[in-house]
Amino acid sequence: MQKQGTVIRWDATRAFGFIRSPDTSADVFFHVRDYRGSAAPREGLAVVYEEIHVGGKGPRAMAVQPAAQAGRATRPAASASATALPRKIQHTRPPAPSPAPRSERPAKTQPGANAPALPTLLLMLGWAALLGWGVWASRLPLWSLGAAVAINLLTFVTYAMDKSAAQSGRWRTPEKHLHLLSLAGGWPSAWCAQQWLRHKSSKQEFRTVYWTTVVVHCAALAAWVGGWLR
């Protein structure tokens, strides 16, 4: 459905902005790749756009273009058939349907983008058992269990806040901070946040570094509990 609105914010450095429309209660997010104007977007620019909703997120604008440009595009062009009738009717192929907007196409699943749930849950169970055995065998202090719970709660909250900041255009949490939380032992709740909040779950580069922190943390914990680092 095409709507009209006004650009109320444009971040040229990060290449995204927000549109305010009387037809939508919340401000509508749009990215520069969805902009169709000949000049760069600016605050106060009247635009028309197609509004979509994806994955429970806030509204998003597609095919954004200045209202003046859209008005010129919709004016009927003068046709030669208005002044002269063709001698014979030419049979032409019907125009090919235009490609769907990028967000409406089925997303391609990248290999390894999401780890299967069962192996990951088994890994979490093994990690928790290793922690418990380390405390029982006096290889780890008792407060290690409380620290593990605390770091996982902190990690999930940090992911949730970063997700909210991404939707509203506020300052984001650096990715290296999220990786440090995973490396410190918050990787189980990081995985849960990625799956439940749909945050950082499709960025292949981030996922690769995330699983590296999981391997390093689990290897270091096993080596310490097993006495190999003593």
Of 182, 189, 192, 191, the residue nearest 213 (C-alpha):
182
Read off the tokens for 191: 């995985």
Q: Give per-residue pLDDT as tens, 158-197.
A: 999 998 888 888 888 899 999 999 999 999 999 999 989 8
Note the pLDDT of residue 49.
86
Read off the tokens for 175: 């990715």
Asked if pLDDT for residue 1 goes beyond 80, the answer is no
Is the model's pTM score more than 0.75?
Answer: no
Q: Do 48 and 126 sit in the same domain of this protein?
A: no
Assign residue 61 the CATH number of its domain.
2.40.50.140
Note the pLDDT of residue 159.
94
Note the pLDDT of residue 95.
60
Note the pLDDT of residue 75.
57
Element containing residue 194 per DSSP (H, E) = helix 187-196
Asked if pLDDT for residue 213 goes beyond 50, the answer is yes
Q: Do 53 and 138 sit in the same domain of this protein?
A: no
In a domain, 201, yes or no: yes
Q: Do 60 and 122 sit in the same domain of this protein?
A: no
Environment class of residue 190 by beta-carbon count within 10 Å: exposed (0-12), middle (13-18) or buried (19+)? buried
Note the pLDDT of residue 111.
37
Higher pLDDT, 69 or 29: 29
Tell me which of 72, 87, 109 is where a domain ends. Answer: 72
Q: Do 149 and 66 sit in the same domain of this protein?
A: no
DSSP code for 213: H
In a domain, 3, yes or no: yes
In a domain, 97, yes or no: no
Averaged pLDDT, 2-11 = 88
In a domain, 98, yes or no: no
Q: Do 66 and 133 sit in the same domain of this protein?
A: no
Contact yes or no for 184/218 (Cβ under 8 A)? no
Question: How far is it, in rounded angstroms, from Cα 91 to Cα 75?
Answer: 26
Contact yes or no for 30/14 (Cβ under 8 A)? no
Kindly give the pairing relationship between strand 46-52 and strand 60-66.
antiparallel
Q: Give per-residue pLDDT as tens, 143-152.
A: 999 999 999 9
Averaged pLDDT, 77-82 = 43
Note the pLDDT of residue 230.
58
Of 17, 60, 7, 40, the residue nearest 169 (C-alpha):
17
Q: How many domains does the chain have?
A: 2
DSSP code for 43: T
CA 131 vs CA 61, 65, 183, 212: distances in Å = 47, 56, 15, 20
Higher pLDDT, 211 or 38: 211
- Burial readout 77-107 (b: 16 or more C-beta within 10 A, e: otherwise): eeeeeeeeeeeeeeeeeeeeeeeeeeeeeee
Of 22, 23, 31, the residue nearest 57 (C-alpha):
31
For residue 3, the enclosing domain spans 1-72
Q: Give per-residue pLDDT as tens, 83-130.
A: 444 444 444 455 665 555 544 444 444 433 445 688 899 999 999 999
Q: Give per-residue pLDDT as tens, 10-46.
A: 888 888 899 898 888 888 888 888 888 888 888 888 9
How sure is the predictor about 133, in pLDDT bands with cuts at 50, 70 and 90? very high
Q: Do 123 and 61 sit in the same domain of this protein?
A: no
How sure is the predictor about 203, in pLDDT bands with cuts at 50, 70 and 90? confident
